[in-house]
Amino acid sequence: MIELYTWTTPNGEKPVIMLEECKLSYEMHLVDIGNGEQHSDRFKAINANEKIPALVDRSMGGYSQPVFESGAILIYLAELTGKFLPQSTRHRSQCFSWVFFQVGHTGPMIGQYHHFNSAAPEKIDYAIERYRKESRRVLGVLDGHLANNAYLAGDYTIADMMHYSWARIGLKELAEDGEFPSLRRWAETIGARPAVRLGLEKLQTAKDARG
């Protein structure tokens, strides 16, 4: 059985989507980061960095080495199943380029903008503007690429799953109506996939059940 430790954040949504796309059986364990559950000894034993998501795969003869960081989890699941990761060197490298673009740019920039604009106890105009501009630049990079491509790396891959939740937040918080049309088209396409909808519904239902 695969155990997933996650929460209702963009990074936490990625492995849920991948697990549903791969039609894998898994147990979902919510880690309420708002209440500091990620700092518990139990979770720290799974991920010393005390961040969600993390995955433990107990389905192969008791092997239970934790996998943490959302990108590593999606790569692990892709290699485990042989799905959503191109096999040719050219397409595989393109997929990894967009995966790590998300890890280094899309997630951190939009995440920092959201923090300084909405969550920080003190409004720092320089930080808000810095991350606003960089986040919009990143959205523009994605939009420009998707103007000539249906997906980020050829067919639908883990690169698209990595970006979906962050792009959706970026469009909501940083874009005017009508801006980034190709990115919006792509996000609507991803969001309409049955596995994506089911995964996000399961995650939200599990959170609601906790009260």
Name the DSSP class of 56.
E
Strand partners, 54: 5, 68
Q: Could you report the per-residue pLDDT of 117-161, keeping only the tens digit for each? A: 999 999 999 999 999 999 999 999 999 999 999 999 999 999 999
| One domain for residues 102 and 38 | no
Higher pLDDT, 63 or 48: 48
| One domain for residues 96 and 162 | yes
User: Does residue 75 have a pLDDT over 80?
Assistant: yes
| One domain for residues 128 and 199 | no
| Distance of alpha carbon 68 from alpha carbon 207, whole angstroms | 21
* Among the listed residues 162, 175, 133, 131, the one whose alpha carbon sits nearest the alpha carbon of residue 12: 162
Q: Which residues contact 150 (CB under 8 A, 6 or more apart)?
A: 186, 189
| One domain for residues 98 and 182 | yes
Where do we find the tokens 């249906």? 150
Where do we find the tokens 């996939």? 193
Residue type, 110: I
Helix (H, G, I), strand (E, B) or coil at 26: strand
| One domain for residues 159 and 80 | no
Q: Could you report the per-residue pLDDT of 3-31, keeping only the tens digit for each? A: 999 999 999 999 999 999 999 999 999 99
The CATH number assigned to the domain holding 35 equals 3.40.30.10
DSSP string, 94-163: HHHHHHHHIIIIIHHHHHHHHIIIII-SS--HHHHHHHHHHHHHHHHHHHHHHTS-SSTBSBS-HHHHHH
| One domain for residues 46 and 105 | no
| One domain for residues 96 and 189 | yes
Task: Please tell me the total count of domains within the chain.
Answer: 2
| One domain for residues 93 and 189 | yes
pLDDT averaged over every residue in the chain = 96
User: Does residue 62 have a pLDDT over 60?
Assistant: no
Q: What's the pLDDT score for residue 210?
A: 86
Q: Could you report the per-residue pLDDT of 98-124, keeping only the tens digit for each? A: 999 999 999 999 999 999 999 999 999
Higher pLDDT, 37 or 62: 37
Domain hosting 181: range is 89-193
Percent of the chain surpassing pLDDT 70? 98
| One domain for residues 35 and 127 | no
The CATH number assigned to the domain holding 146 equals 1.20.1050.10
Where do we find the tokens 């980020």? 152
Q: Could you report the per-residue pLDDT of 175-193, keeping only the tens digit for each? A: 999 999 999 999 999 999 9
| One domain for residues 159 and 174 | yes
| One domain for residues 154 and 201 | no
Q: Which residues contact 97 (CB under 8 A, 6 or more apart)?
A: 153
| Distance of alpha carbon 147 from alpha carbon 181, whole angstroms | 8
For the entire predicted model, the pTM comes to: 0.95
| Distance of alpha carbon 70 from alpha carbon 18, whole angstroms | 10
Residue type, 184: R
| One domain for residues 94 and 164 | yes
